Amino acid sequence: MARLLLTGGAGFIGSHTALVLLEAGHEVVVLDDFRNSSPKALERVQELSGRSLDLVAGSLGDPATLERAFGGGLYSRGGAIDAVIHFAGLKAVGESVRHPLLYWDVNVNGSRLLLEAMDRAGCRTIVFSSSATLYGMPERTPIVETDAVRPINPYGHSKAAVERMLADLCETGADWRVASLRYFNPVGAHPSGRIGEDPEGIPNNLFPFVSQVAVGRRPELQVFGSDWPTHDGTGMRDYIHVMDLAEGHRAALDTLLREPPQLLTLNLGSGRGHSVLDVVRAFEIASGRSVPYRLVDRRPGDAAETVADPSLAAERLGWRTSRSLEDICRDGWAWQQANPSGYR
Ligand code: WQD
């Protein structure tokens, strides 16, 4: 078993991955500044797994934080970090357009500081939280990893920049083991309803918005565009259950620890597309609540359809998604109903 550092491990995907890794017998150290997450998520992860984890509270921009993660008391007590799963970062497209330098600082400079600390500590195995957003307007769908990387917003550019940084490290001849995982649309929650997605303020993303309408926190959903070239005119996306995504991280980590130094770049998606109205309908069935909506204009920067070709991850990791849109809505509703105000 390995001792793993999860940066941003209290976040939506980080907390679900921490749970899967603890249950697989690994030791977990979480580094998080809680700017967009809650310590409660970590309490519940430990409750669900019946195991404890270590916490380094702070941000990657603070040298003392990295020293504690890779060198300080915790390090000497707990031992060296064998690998890092790097979730910490900002991920709101609209915010990145309004504050591009913030995204270049937190996402890119933060990653550079992390990689320098790893190199100094001789820890050269990392799974990176990348995003399908770096494909921009896809040339075709389903999307394969060799399709053009053409980000159309600063958030996407920051993810592409970190992927480039990692690829350059792999070309230095040192023994770096890297997996850049390009997530499609992570949604849902752990079936217990104890951990889930808890966005700050008005959700940018469809699934938490639908969920908040169903629980009565929002009056209605605005459907961005009903004239797309899709089966019902609304946007199509590849929704991946967060538990499938967490298991994909464990599979990527196991592969890196088992195989020689390499760079893996993989799409993590289901390979199935669902429209906005498909999601609304499925969520209404799962929750027994109505989700009122209004058809409005398209959102700038949106594509009609973004769906993964997940075959490379299946081939290299022996991993595929196993949960359906119905599972996603059932589990997402269990979280929302039990936690109408998230972790607050
Ligand atoms: C999904 C569909 C919208 C909200 C984004 C980021 C991407 C990744 C996942 C981090 C689209 C429609 C949405 C609403 C709507 N995040 N929609 N009404 O845009 O595919 O991807 O989240 O890595 O980087 O770009 O996800 O959930 O915002 O939109 O009609 O209130 O739902 O038009 O068709 P998206 P989304």
The single residue of 75, 103, 135, 155 carrying the catalytic annotation is 155
As a 3-state breakdown, the chain gives helix, strand, coil percent values, each rounded to 5, of 40, 20, 40
Q: How far apart are the first and last CA of the chain?
A: 34
Nearest alpha carbon, ligand 1 atom 13: 206
Q: Which CATH class is domain 3-190+239-269+307-321?
A: alpha beta
* pTM to 2 decimal places: 0.97
Q: What is the pLDDT along the chain (344 residues), one digit of tens a residue?
A: 899 999 999 999 999 999 999 999 999 999 999 999 999 999 999 999 999 999 999 999 999 999 999 976 555 566 799 999 999 999 999 999 999 999 999 999 999 999 999 999 999 999 999 999 999 999 899 999 999 999 999 999 999 999 999 999 999 988 999 999 999 999 999 999 999 999 989 999 999 999 999 999 999 999 999 999 999 999 999 999 999 999 999 999 999 999 999 999 999 999 999 999 999 999 999 999 999 999 999 998 899 999 999 999 999 999 999 999 999 999 999 999 999 999 99
State the Cα–Cα distance between residues 96 and 155, nearest whole angstrom. Answer: 5
Please give the C-alpha separations between residue 331 and each of 30, 214, 334, in angstroms, as whole numbers.
25, 14, 5
**C-alpha 53 to ligand 1 mean position (Å):** 32
What are the residue boundaries of the structural domains of the chain, listed by start?
A: 3-190+239-269+307-321
**C-alpha 204 to ligand 1 mean position (Å):** 7
